[in-house]
Amino acid sequence: MATPGKSGRSAANAPAPAPGVLTSRENRWLKEFRMALRGGLPTESGSVGVEGVRLVEEALRSGCPIEAVLFSESGERHHQRLAPLIDRPEMAFPTLRTTDRLFEGLADTEHPQGVAALVRPRTSTLDELLRTPISACAPLLVVLAGVQDPGNVGTILRTAAAFGATGAITAASGQSGTASPFSPKALRASAGAALHLPVLPGMSLPILLTQLKIANVRTLASSVRDPHDGESRVLSPWEVDWCEPVALLVGNEGAGLPEEVERSADARIRIPMASGIESLNAAAAAAVLFYEAARQRNSLLEKTGAKS
């Protein structure tokens, strides 16, 4: 005798999946989505997973190559919202469907919305990041050195993009690696900004600092420590000329940047705070610094626009 399911109907009476719905856990596409979303790893083709209607929409708008879009049965309700992006002639990728149960098994979120995509982030070179975009007065880069929490990585990238940063670089710092900006959690925290902002992941920090110096990009090390005897004083955010080429170095959440990195930077920068408060969260500190950068850079663009 058939055992009743959750709906009260017997398994024998349950409706069969619609034609074209992927029903095997071992299906190649479902394996790739599971690896990218739940496993947090890129696929063999270099694709990463994005999940949720908003993130998939951002991925489709980003111009990054899309490998596939997957809907669950209940996630089909989002198809109409995404159809103008999915159905464009130049968007040649498969639109796949699976059951709600199988989608839940590959999703990284607790309550999945039933839509996901495999997307290949665009690759950027340091030379590309050092070019001044038409809409900016100079390159403004953020260097994440040992930021281990993917939520912080994503939030910093979202903040940087919101305040006009032109690119981002991730690097290890001492014993601390930086979380991938393309992991599912980092992508959610960045609200998809990592797919729009040019990102160069995994550079060697000593090589990067040397190349930035050769390119005449001023490096600013965010710092929480007081200067030693003989060291230059620490700058406040408004004492920096953010309209020249600048790379802001953001260090590990707990340890900050190693002293040798701070010493090798062109200057150290710190946010003045009320007594008794030692430091801000890495993402919050980056937001304050980039706000000041945006204020100066927007003011310069307004002045030059008025003169032209």
Question: In whole angstroms, what separates CA 262 from the centre of its chain?
Answer: 25
Say which residue the tokens 């498969």 belong to. 94
| DSSP state, residue 26 | T
- pLDDT at 282 (0 to 100): 84
Domain 19-119 has CATH 3.30.1330.30: yes
Of the pLDDT bands very low, low, confident and very high (cuts 50, 70, 90), residue 9 is: very low
Of the pLDDT bands very low, low, confident and very high (cuts 50, 70, 90), residue 11 is: very low
| Residue 46 reports pLDDT greater than 90 | yes
Please tell me the CATH superfamily of domain 126-307, with its number: SPOUT methyltransferase, trefoil knot domain (3.40.1280.10)
Alpha-helical (H) ranges within the chain are 28-37, 53-62, 79-86, 100-106, 126-130, 150-162, 184-189, 205-214, 259-264, 282-307
| Residue 74 reports pLDDT greater than 80 | yes
Note whether 19-119 and 126-307 share their fold. no
Residue 188 C-beta-side C-alpha neighbours within 13 Å: 16
| Residue 13 reports pLDDT greater than 60 | no
Residues 92-132: tens digit of each pLDDT = 899 999 999 999 999 998 899 999 999 999 889 999 999 98
Locate the domains of the chain by residue range: 19-119, 126-307
Dist. CA 84–CA 288, nearest whole Å:
37
Contact, 168 vs 154, CB < 8 A? no
Task: Please give the residue that has the higher pLDDT: either 73 or 271.
Answer: 73
Its pTM stands at: 0.85
What does pLDDT average to over the chain?
Answer: 87
Task: Please give the residue that has the higher pLDDT: either 214 or 285.
Answer: 214
- pLDDT at 17 (0 to 100): 55
- pLDDT at 1 (0 to 100): 41
Helix (H, G, I), strand (E, B) or coil at 134: coil
Task: Please give the residue that has the higher pLDDT: either 89 or 260.
Answer: 260
Of the pLDDT bands very low, low, confident and very high (cuts 50, 70, 90), residue 2 is: very low
| Residue 307 reports pLDDT greater than 70 | no
Q: How many residues does the chain have?
A: 308
Sign of CA dihedral 55, 67, 150, 99: positive
